[in-house]
């Protein structure tokens, strides 16, 4: 597949070119600093930063084509000097052009598309699917969690020629958003990891969250296969009134009989999990470099996608064993005073926080444990109960010490107290700095081999606590 030229881009979106229309372009950036050479730069207007102010900077960094809004130039190219080896494309709306070009490139690639969404685990699942499919195919995926109205078209437009499968994570904050992403992505396969309570403050009910997530399945072609978690009641419930082909995966089959089954979970290394997996009589053992049943379920989703594309379980498990995850998810770090840190600071909700607490207790193997837990956002009316539920789980697991960070996280402490957790093992803090001080004091008096979990919503910047507790080399 050849690269686009500036003229090709202009024809697709019916824009007006100023400068050299014969230049070849490949890939795109929306941040001028990320240009490396040959890209399109979309001068997206924003509330705080306007991309039109960075057109010349993008050209200097190597971008070939800048796409800007005609209204900003009042129809006069004399007010803006375009370098000889660059081009400026004037359009009515940069954002609409961004979407239209992503649609066009997705179709020109001719790649199959796997869409991934869910309340928990979608980024991890996306990474696992890419690892499994890469055993046989040329795969491209979102970087980190570039899963919204900007991140997804950016991912598509940066997919290189020759990509055979696109694995696209799709996030949402309201009804219609996944549908809009699917208009660009045109998914062939859909994966829903689960339907939880994240974004409850926006959608008001779990039923509406389920409706929003299910837009991915509704966007599939008639023969498009949906991969569904057999342990998730809402997901299974939604399949009952849908005519698409479904393939279930799970460990227990609580709500549906899984075709792909994981069993005999046991620890593997510092944070890994070994488990047996079965699909249509094929059996093998997987070594997953992540802990916990929740990650095994995500791995089963990835293996399920692999089977759709003809990747054997054995080959898929090799891919899982070589998994490279997006940053800030269940990272093991060496801490001060001989502690082991589990830094899981990318994001948090009640389900993921409870899962991480279980991992903490499992991997500590009887050693002392410390949970440093920050606020969880986007829970709406379930904020209080969600935090208290985490506190109850912490008490039931017998975590040695609890440090909460932030006003809302005080509800975690309250939930722990209600479950009988001792008051003198709770430290309530309002800032990260205060939490670090309390943690250092605990570690200094607890002896070596304490295991520490650090977790909270992205906005809490809990990674700053991790950095302060890491052992300096």
pTM of the full structure: 0.80
Average pLDDT, the chain: 92
431 among the known binding-site residues?
A: no
CA distances from 153 to 28, 104, 110 (A): 10, 11, 16
Residue whose C-alpha is closest to residue 461's, from 433, 438, 441, 437: 433
DSSP string over 339-355: -EEEEE-S---HHHHHH
Q: What confidence category does residue 202 fall into, taking pLDDT thresholds of 50, 70 and 90?
A: low
The pLDDT of residue 78 is: 45
- The Cβ-side half-sphere exposure at 168, using a 13 Å CA radius, reads 36
Q: What confidence category does residue 1 fall into, taking pLDDT thresholds of 50, 70 and 90?
A: very low
pLDDT tens digits, one per residue of 364-403 = 889 999 999 999 987 877 889 999 999 999 999 999 999 9
The pLDDT of residue 201 is: 54
Cβ contact 51:97 at 8 Å = no
Residue whose C-alpha is closest to residue 277's, from 248, 246, 255, 299: 299
Taking CA 42 as the corner, what is the angle to CA 459 and CA 110, rounded to the nearest 5 degrees? Answer: 95
Give φ, ψ of 437 to 5 degrees: -60, -45
Cβ contact 469:452 at 8 Å = yes
Q: Which of 90-94, 129-133, 271-275 has the lowest mean pLDDT?
A: 271-275
Helix (H, G, I), strand (E, B) or coil at 396: helix
pLDDT tens digits, one per residue of 324-375 = 766 657 788 899 999 999 998 888 889 889 989 988 998 888 999 999 999 9
- Domain parsing of the chain, residue ranges: 4-93, 110-321, 331-469
Nearest-angstrom CA–CA distance, 324 and 289: 9
Cβ contact 351:390 at 8 Å = no
pLDDT tens digits, one per residue of 435-446 = 999 999 999 999
Nearest-angstrom CA–CA distance, 94 and 77: 17
In the predicted model, is pLDDT for residue 231 greater than 60? Answer: yes
Cβ contact 331:453 at 8 Å = no
Partners of residue 420 on adjacent β-strands: none
Break the chain down into helix, strand, coil percent, rounded to 5.
40, 20, 35
| List of residues 6+ apart from 248 with CB closer than 8 A | 227, 228, 229, 230, 236, 256, 257, 258, 259, 260
Domain 110-321 homologous superfamily, CATH: Mur-like, catalytic domain (3.40.1190.10)
The pLDDT of residue 120 is: 84
120 among the known binding-site residues?
A: yes
In the predicted model, is pLDDT for residue 197 greater than 70? Answer: no
User: What percent of the chain is predicted at pLDDT more than 70?
Assistant: 95
121 among the known binding-site residues?
A: yes
The pLDDT of residue 76 is: 53
The pLDDT of residue 79 is: 60
Placement of tokens 């991997």 in the chain: 363
CATH pick for 4-93 out of 3.40.1390.10, 3.40.50.1820, 3.20.20.70, 3.40.50.1110 = 3.40.1390.10
Helix (H, G, I), strand (E, B) or coil at 112: strand
Ramachandran category for residue 63: left, alpha or beta (phi over 0 → left; psi -120 to 50 → alpha) = beta
Average pLDDT over residues 113-131: 93
Residue whose C-alpha is closest to residue 308's, from 135, 134, 142, 189: 189
pLDDT tens digits, one per residue of 249-262 = 999 999 999 999 99
124 among the known binding-site residues?
A: yes
Nearest-angstrom CA–CA distance, 462 and 142: 23
Residue whose C-alpha is closest to residue 345's, from 319, 368, 371: 371
Residue 473: exposed, middle, or buried by beta-carbon count in 10 A (0-12, 13-18, 19+)? Answer: exposed
Cβ contact 126:142 at 8 Å = yes
Average pLDDT over residues 163-192: 95
CATH pick for 331-469 out of 3.30.450.90, 3.90.180.10, 3.90.190.20, 3.40.50.300 = 3.90.190.20
pLDDT tens digits, one per residue of 36-91 = 999 999 999 988 889 999 999 999 999 999 999 999 887 555 466 899 999 999 99
User: What percent of the chain is predicted at pLDDT more than 90?
Assistant: 78
C-alpha dihedral over 103, 99, 86, 43, to 10 degrees? Answer: -170
Nearest-angstrom CA–CA distance, 272 and 270: 6
335 among the known binding-site residues?
A: no
In the predicted model, is pLDDT for residue 203 greater than 60? Answer: no
In the predicted model, is pLDDT for residue 21 greater than 80? Answer: yes
């Amino acid at each position: 597949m050849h690269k686009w030229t500036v003229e090709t881009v202009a024809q697709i979106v019916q824009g007006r070119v100023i400068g050299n229309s014969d230049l070849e372009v490949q890939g795109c950036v929306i941040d001028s600093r990320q240009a490396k050479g040959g890209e399109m730069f979309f001068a997206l207007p924003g509330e705080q930063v306007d991309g039109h102010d960075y057109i010349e900077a993008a050209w200097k960094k190597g971008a070939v084509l800048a796409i800007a809004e005609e209204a900003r130039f009042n129809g006069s190219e004399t007010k803006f000097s375009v370098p000889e080896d660059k081009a400026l494309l004037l359009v009515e709306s940069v954002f609409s052009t961004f979407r239209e070009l992503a649609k066009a490139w997705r179709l020109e690639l001719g790649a199959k598309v796997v869409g991934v969404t869910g309340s928990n685990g979608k980024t991890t699942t996306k990474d696992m699917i890419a690892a499994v499919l890469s055993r046989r195919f040329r795969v491209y995926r979102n970087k980190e969690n570039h899963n919204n109205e900007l991140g997804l078209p950016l991912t598509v437009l940066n997919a290189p020629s020759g990509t055979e499968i696109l694995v696209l994570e799709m996030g949402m904050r309201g009804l219609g958003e996944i549908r809009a992403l699917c208009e660009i992505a045109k998914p062939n396969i859909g994966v829903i990891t689960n339907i939880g309570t994240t974004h409850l403050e926006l959608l008001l009910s779990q039923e509406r969250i389920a409706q929003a997530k299910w837009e991915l399945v509704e966007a599939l072609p008639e023969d498009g296969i949906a991969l569904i978690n057999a342990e998730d009641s809402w997901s299974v419930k939604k399949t009952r009134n849908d005519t698409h082909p479904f393939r279930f995966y799970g460990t227990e089959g609580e709500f549906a009989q899984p075709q792909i089954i994981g069993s005999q979970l046991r620890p593997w290394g510092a944070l890994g999990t070994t488990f047996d997996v079965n699909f249509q009589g094929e059996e093998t053992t997987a070594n997953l470099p992540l802990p916990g049943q929740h990650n095994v379920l995500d791995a089963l989703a990835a293996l399920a996608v692999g089977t759709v594309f003809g990747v054997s379980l054995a080959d898929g498990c090799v891919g899982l064993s070589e998994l490279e995850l997006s940053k800030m998810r269940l990272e093991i770090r060496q801490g001060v005073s001989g502690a082991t840190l589990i830094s899981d600071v990318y994001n948090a909700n009640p389900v993921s926080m409870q899962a991480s607490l279980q991992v903490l207790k499992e991997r500590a193997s009887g050693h002392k444990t410390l949970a440093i837990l920050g606020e969880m956002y986007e829970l709406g009316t379930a904020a209080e109960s969600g935090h208290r539920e985490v506190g109850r789980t912490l008490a039931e697991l017998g975590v040695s010490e609890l440090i909460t960070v932030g006003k809302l996280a005080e509800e975690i402490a309250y939930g722990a107290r209600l479950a009988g957790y001792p008051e003198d093992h709770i430290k309530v803090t309002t800032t990260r700095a205060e939490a670090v001080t309390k943690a250092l004091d605990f570690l200094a008096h607890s002896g070596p081999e304490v295991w520490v979990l650090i977790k909270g919503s992205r906005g809490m910047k809990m990674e700053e606590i991790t950095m302060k507790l890491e052992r300096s080399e």
